[in-house]
Structure 1
Amino acid sequence: MESQHPNDCLYYLVTRVSLSLTSLLKKRLVESGCDFVKPAYIGVLLWLWMDDGMGTMLGKFGKDEGIKLNDLGKLAGLEPSSMTGLIDRMEKDGLVVRANDPKDRRVTNIQLTQKGINVRKHILEIMDTVTKEIFATIPKKQEDIALDVLKKILISASNLEKF
């Protein structure tokens, strides 16, 4: 196989885009005083916020039990070994807590703290701003296509990981 120019290599481009987006998001989080929220937390927070929102919409009564650590890792696309350290850091930053599952003491659930709930709107606004900055020179139709293609790549890659 001949050498490939980096700008023609999907792996290189996806990696560079990810690094650039992460760097810009980190900068905006720091500028807004939310430096306790790291870009690495975003995937987990999005799933927890979605779970919290669903609970509110469904009218949960009593204490929220959170999401099982293993399930949250699968949703966020992270290995169990990565989840442990990530949740440790998120706990240290006051965004989540671990709790025993009331139905099975062997299971650990992850719950948002009040701080984790309160920061939701602001973090989503920052992410929206970053997205608008990134796509400022790109027509909306191409932005939609890019999002659709990235979803398909993620599904394809996830399916290949299973084998």
Structure 2
Amino acid sequence: MASDLQRIQSLPTWLVGRLAARGRGMVADAIAVEGLKLMHHAVLAATAEYGPITQADLGRRLAVDPKDMVGALNHLQKEGLVLRAPDPSDRRKNAVTVTPEGTAALTRCAALAKAANAELLAPLTPDEQKQLMALLTRLHEAAENPA
């Protein structure tokens, strides 16, 4: 008979959570060589995609507390990866843009994250990897758009 712990550890939520934590750790370790944390990577990617964008809009898009956003942007600006300047449409706000150095760092981080994910999925065959991604995508979409 399975113990209470074994029952918990056999739940999909437990398994997915443990795997997600392992994967996040692997990606975090990989991009650390760029001097970036996961939050920095997300802010840099969102800035590249949506910029120029106000700090407030960036925080809303990423669901990041304003003080945490300021800290992340301070780090990215200090490293020369983003630039903050008064927003032309509302000079009381700062608009954030990615620099060419930021774009290059983002490209390197994407390659590092891809390699970390490949390592995470290495125990699976290529077909199993595709199947897992399809199933995870389906679950994610269902959770985002409940019927």
User: TM-score, normalized by length of structure 1?
Assistant: 0.69
Specify the alignment match of 2:36 in structure 1: 37
Residue 67 in 1 paired to residue 57 in 2? no
- Return the index of the structure with the highest Cα Rg: 2
**CA drift at 1:145:** 1.5
1:92-127 deviation per Cα after TM superposition (whole angstroms, max 9, x unaligned): 232212111012111111111221012222211111
Matches within 5 A, 1:3-152: 5-8=8-11, 10=13, 13=15, 15-30=17-32, 33-34=33-34, 36-51=35-50, 66-138=52-124, 139=128, 140-152=130-142
Asked if the contact 2:87–2:94 (Cα under 8 Å) also holds between the matched residues in 1, the reply is yes
C-alpha deviation, 1:19, in angstroms? 3.0
Q: Which has the higher contact order (CA 8 A, sep 6+)?
A: 2
- In structure 1, the gaps of 5 or more residues are 53-65, 158-163
- Equivalent position amino acid for 1:46 in 2: A
Q: TM-score, normalised by structure 2?
A: 0.75
* Count of residue pairs brought into register by the alignment: 138
1:151/1:86 Cα in 2 relative to 1: closer, same or farther (>3 Å)?
farther
Runs (5+) with no aligned partner, structure 2: none
**Identity rate, percent:** 21
Aligned-residue offset at 1:156: 6.1
